[in-house]
Amino acid sequence: MSFIDKAKGAIGDNLDKVKDAVADNVDKVEAAIDKAGDVIDEKTGGKFAETIDKVQGAAHTAVDKVVEASDSAKGAAEKAADSAKGAAEKAADSAKGAAEKATDTAKGAAEKATDKVDGQ
């Protein structure tokens, strides 16, 4: 396995953690992007300012996409949880109805048996 393959594997294994960290710390990440660009711009005497601005813009766009994806995933998870809760409540209601019906049936059978015993 080459170094590149190992690196891809390591990144893939931790990508969700990174996405969560970025989504949870958007302000800090964006401030770091701006600060890094400013430091590079200062060290190069503004020689690459246009390129640095483009890279910063791309980095900010990537952060926005990560945040949107995270929000979308959270919304989907909440929707799934609500759906599961609704299904569980429906199943509980159905089970309760079946139990009540079984109780009524058993009660009726017991009353019939009692009437037969009393009638003998």
Higher-confidence position of 60 and 6: 60
pLDDT score recorded for residue 36: 93
Domain chopping of the chain, boundaries: 3-119
- CB of 53 within 8 A of CB of 33? no
Residues in the chain: 120
pLDDT at position 52 is: 92
Residue 56 has pLDDT above 90, yes or no: yes
- When pLDDT is cut at 50, 70 and 90, the band that residue 120 belongs to is low
Look over the chain and give the mean of its residue pLDDT values, rounded to a whole number: 85
| Average pLDDT of the segment spanning 45-57 | 93
Percent of the chain as helix, strand, coil, to the nearest 5: 90, 0, 10
Quote the pLDDT of residue 67.
87
Q: Of 60, 73, 70, whose CA–CA distance to 20 is shortest?
A: 70
Four-residue CA torsion sign, 67, 83, 14, 7: negative
User: What are the tokens at 54?
Assistant: 């483009």
DSSP character at residue 1: -
pLDDT of residue 102: 87
Higher pLDDT, 8 or 120: 8
